[in-house]
Amino acid sequence: MNPSDDELASLADVAIRAATESGEMIARSRPTEIGHKDGGVSAASQVVTEIDRRSEDIIVGHLAPTLEPFGLGLLTEERADDGGRHRTDAFWCVDPLDGTLPFVEGASGSAVSIALVRRDGTPLLGVIVDPVTSTRWHAIRGLGAFRNGSAWSPPEPSTSRPLVVYADRRFLAGDDAGALVGALEDVARGIGRDAVDIRVGAGAVMNALGVLDHAPAGYLKLPAPAGGGSLWDFAATACLFTEVGAPVTDIHGEPLDLNRTDSTFMHHRGVVFATDAALADALRSLHPRGS
């Protein structure tokens, strides 16, 4: 699929309407049905509520009319993967409520995330809504990044802030947590910062957005033998990072595998978001080459 700029802008408008309506619903809702699903290995990837499903219904209602006219597939978190993403030139990739765990806890850190991804894994557009603040970001490949409808670029790095590193809750729960913290402190010193501020608790989407707002910063997911972090967790923010010129790669410095054939999980190659290339290199170095 090689849509024109006008076609991408039109599809982005559809996704913006979907994410906005969904975010408004989430903002006025509290979960009453909290369940668990199979798949991930962490509590964050297993918890699901009726709000997740209501959000998905809203979004799919907006996106469905675009599928046949544009020849698009659809991948959503709460519905079975029908494999259509491998048969169409591009597909919608939807996380109707990223950060369900903080949402259940009544904390910030959740988001609505909608991306359009080309079959080769290239993100073509991304739309994100924070239901807590009603802030909206969107990006269109080659056309830039926007916040609340206006052209947007991240703030310049602070000269006094410590290195900020976003991570999932499991990051500090393993036996190697102490070693990882020590390694991150070394990274901070290497870029002239005297401390590292490790932030956990939010979903993947808001973790990535936090990176852009708190430079110098990064979001790190090291490869794991199994478990969480799926295509829909990273597709929209990958587009946003690309459009603002910030690096987003796997742990080996390659583009994210946003349409892997054998799974929707991303644990196989890890994920690195960063505010600059030197910091991305330093974060990737925490994982031994060849592992």
Instruction: For the chain, 291 residues long, give each residue's pLDDT as a single digit of tens.
Output: 578 899 999 999 999 999 999 999 999 999 888 877 655 555 556 678 999 999 999 999 999 999 999 999 999 999 999 999 999 999 999 999 999 999 999 999 999 999 999 999 999 999 999 999 999 999 999 999 999 999 999 999 988 889 999 999 888 887 888 999 999 999 999 999 999 999 999 999 999 999 999 999 999 999 987 766 999 999 999 999 999 999 999 999 999 999 999 999 998 899 999 999 999 999 999 987 545
Q: Is 239 left (phi over 0), alpha (psi -120 to 50) or beta?
A: alpha
pLDDT at 41: 54
CA distance 230 to 45: 9
Within 10 A of 224 (CB to CB), how many other CB atoms are there? Answer: 17
The predicted model scores a pTM of 0.94
CA angle 74, 77, 79 (to 5 degrees): 70
The β-bridge partners of 138 are 127, 146
pLDDT at 45: 60
Name the 3-class secondary structure at 18.
Answer: helix
The β-bridge partners of 36 are 47
Going along the chain from its start, the domains and CATH numbers come out as 5-151 (3.30.540.10), 163-284 (3.40.190.80)
Do residues 146 and 137 lie in contact, with contact meaning Cβ atoms separated by under 8 Å?
yes
Residue whose C-alpha is closest to residue 103's, from 42, 16, 44: 44
Task: List phi, psi (to 5°) of 228.
Answer: -75, 180
pLDDT at 290: 43
CA angle 205, 208, 211 (to 5 degrees): 150
pLDDT at 33: 81
- Residue for token digits 């991306």? 115
pLDDT at 132: 95
CA distance 246 to 266: 20
